[in-house]
Structure 1
Amino acid sequence: MTPAARVQAAAEVLDRIAAGTPAEQALLGWSRASRFAGSKDRAAVRDHVFDVMRRWRSTAASGGGESGRARMLGLLRQQGTDPDTLFTGQGHAPKPLGDAERAAGRVPEGAEALDLPDWLWSDWQASLGAEAAATAEQLRHRAPVFLRINTLRATQAAAIAALSADGIATRPAPLADTALEVIEGARKVARSKAFTDGLVELQDAASQAVVAALPLAPGQRVLDYCAGGGGKALAMASRLSGLVEAHDANPARMSDLPARAIRAGAEIAITQEPRGPYDLVLCDVPCSGSGSWRRAPEGKWRLTADGLAELTAIQGRILDTVAPLVARGGTLAYATCSMLATENGARVAAFLAGHPGWSLARERQFLPSDGGDGFYVACLTAPD
Structure 2
Amino acid sequence: MTPAARVAAAIGVLDDCLSGTPVEKALLRWSRGSRFAGSKDRAAVRDHVFDGWRRRRSAAHDGGRDTGRGILIGLLRQQGVDLDTLFTGQGHAPAPLDPDEKAGRGDTPTAATRVDLPDWLWDRFQADLGPEAETAALALRDRAPVFLRVNPRRGSGAAALRALAEDGIEAVAHPLVEGALRVVRGARAVSRGRAYAEGLVELQDAASQAAMARLPLRDGQSLLDFCAGGGGKALALAARARLDVTAHDISAARMRDIPPRADRAGVRISVAPHLDDQRADLVLLDAPCSGSGTWRRDPDGKWRLTPDRLAELARLQAELIDRAARHVAPGGSLAYATCSVLAEENAAQVAAFLARAPGWALRDKMQWLPGADGDGFFLARFDRSG
Alignment partner of 1:305 is 2:296: no
Alpha carbons 2:218, 2:243 under 8 Å: kept: no
Distance in 1 separating the partners of 2:75 and 2:184: 24
Q: Which residue of 2 aligns with 1:212?
A: 213
Partner AA of 1:198 in structure 2: G
Partner AA of 1:101 in structure 2: E
Deviations 1:94-131 (A, max 9, x none): 01111232234344221111001101122111211111
Equivalent position to 1:318, from 314, 317, 320 = 320
SS in 2 for 1:105: coil
Q: Which residue of 2 aligns with 1:148?
A: 149
Partner AA of 1:213 in structure 2: R
Task: After superposing the two structures, state which structure 1 stretch, 102-111 or 4-13, moved more.
Answer: 102-111
Q: Which residue of 2 aligns with 1:30?
A: 30
Q: How does 1:90-239 map to 2 (within 5 A)?
A: 90-106=90-106, 107-239=108-240
Distance in 2 separating the partners of 1:108 and 1:241: 54
Distance in 2 separating the partners of 1:145 and 1:270: 28
Q: Which residue of 1 aligns with 2:19?
A: 19
Q: Which residue of 1 aligns with 2:339?
A: 337
Cα distance, 1:245–1:373 mapped onto 2, change above 3 Å: same
Equivalent position to 1:284, from 283, 286, 292 = 286
Q: Which residue of 1 aligns with 2:70?
A: 70
Partner AA of 1:284 in structure 2: D
Alpha carbons 1:175, 1:370 under 8 Å: kept: no
Q: Which residue of 1 aligns with 2:9?
A: 9
Alignment partner of 1:353 is 2:347: no
Deviations 1:333-369 (A, max 9, x none): 0000001111101001000000012100010101124
Structure 2: which 5+ runs fail to align? none
Distance in 2 separating the partners of 1:42 and 1:272: 37
Distance in 1 separating the partners of 2:40 and 2:160: 27
Distance in 1 separating the partners of 2:176 and 2:294: 16
Distance in 1 separating the partners of 2:278 and 2:123: 41
Give 4+ residue runs of structure 1 displaced > 4 Å after superposition.
Answer: none
Q: CA deviation at 1:370?
A: 6.8
Count of aligned pairs: 384
Distance in 1 separating the partners of 2:283 and 2:55: 37
Alpha carbons 1:242, 1:266 under 8 Å: kept: no
SS in 2 for 1:239: coil
Distance in 2 separating the partners of 1:125 and 1:4: 39
Task: After superposing the two structures, state which structure 1 stretch, 31-40 or 365-374, moved more.
Answer: 365-374
Deviations 1:39-77 (A, max 9, x none): 111111100000011101111111111111111001011
SS in 2 for 1:58: helix
Q: CA deviation at 1:138?
A: 1.0
Q: CA deviation at 1:197?
A: 1.3
Q: CA deviation at 1:160?
A: 0.7
SS in 2 for 1:148: strand
Distance in 2 separating the partners of 1:281 and 1:244: 10
Distance in 1 separating the partners of 2:124 and 2:303: 16
Structure 1: which 5+ runs fail to align? none
Distance in 1 separating the partners of 2:351 and 2:73: 46
Distance in 2 separating the partners of 1:352 and 1:12: 50
SS in 1 for 2:239: helix
TM-score scaled by length of structure 1 = 0.98
Distance in 2 separating the partners of 1:173 and 1:285: 26
Alpha carbons 2:223, 2:243 under 8 Å: kept: no
Alpha carbons 2:221, 2:242 under 8 Å: kept: no
Partner AA of 1:374 in structure 2: G
Distance in 2 separating the partners of 1:255 and 1:267: 14
SS in 2 for 1:240: coil
Cα distance, 1:233–1:155 mapped onto 2, change above 3 Å: same
Q: CA deviation at 1:242?
A: 3.4
Equivalent position to 1:327, from 305, 321, 329 = 329
Cα distance, 1:335–1:65 mapped onto 2, change above 3 Å: same
Alpha carbons 2:145, 2:372 under 8 Å: kept: no
Distance in 1 separating the partners of 2:155 and 2:37: 37
TM-score scaled by length of structure 2 = 0.97
Q: CA deviation at 1:305?
A: 0.4
Partner AA of 2:8 in structure 1: Q
Q: CA deviation at 1:19?
A: 1.0
Cα distance, 1:377–1:246 mapped onto 2, change above 3 Å: same
Task: After superposing the two structures, state which structure 1 stretch, 311-320 or 21-30, moved more.
Answer: 21-30
Alpha carbons 2:251, 2:273 under 8 Å: kept: no
Distance in 1 separating the partners of 2:100 and 2:122: 32
Q: CA deviation at 1:171?
A: 0.7
Distance in 2 separating the partners of 1:213 and 1:276: 25
Q: Which residue of 1 aligns with 2:364?
A: 362
Q: Which residue of 1 aligns with 2:246?
A: 245
Task: After superposing the two structures, state which structure 1 stretch, 193-202 or 267-276, moved more.
Answer: 267-276
Q: CA deviation at 1:38?
A: 1.1
